Amino acid sequence: MSEYPYPTMDAPLPLPSGTVVRTRNLVVLRGRNTTVLTVTIETPTPASDVARVASEAHEVAVLHNDFATMQGASTINVAICRTQACIELREPTDEFFLFERVADGTWVGEKLQL
């Protein structure tokens, strides 16, 4: 067991809609032909409110646009974790959204069924 708590990130992120989510992890993965930014968050919005959670995930992607651009990312994944085990990567999330940058620079996404 680590002597340090995981994750080390627990930053509030106010969304334009007024909801405050917590950023729990931010990872940039560089492949041979692509770079992906994955943002793991916690939200107070219940999982049953699928449309609102999807909207929040999109807001998170848009808020990370400049960072994603600096990193050369063409994809942003937003993972919603609701348990400590998920945050610690000991269990997967079933709330995972993938956003791709389209030609006009906007982020278009969908919820992935894992």
Residue 80: name the closest of 105, 107, 45 by CA. 45
Whose structure tokens read 């990872």? Answer: 27
List the structure tokens of 52: 């609102």
The tens place of each residue's pLDDT in the chain, 114 residues long, gives: 455 556 668 899 999 999 999 999 999 999 999 999 999 999 999 999 999 999 999 999 999 999 999 999 999 999 999 998 998 888 999 999 999 999 998 999 988 765
Could you tell me the two tokens for 96?
């995972």
In eight-state DSSP terms, residue 68 is: H
The 10 Å Cβ neighbour count of residue 73 is: 23
Look up the pTM and report it.
0.89
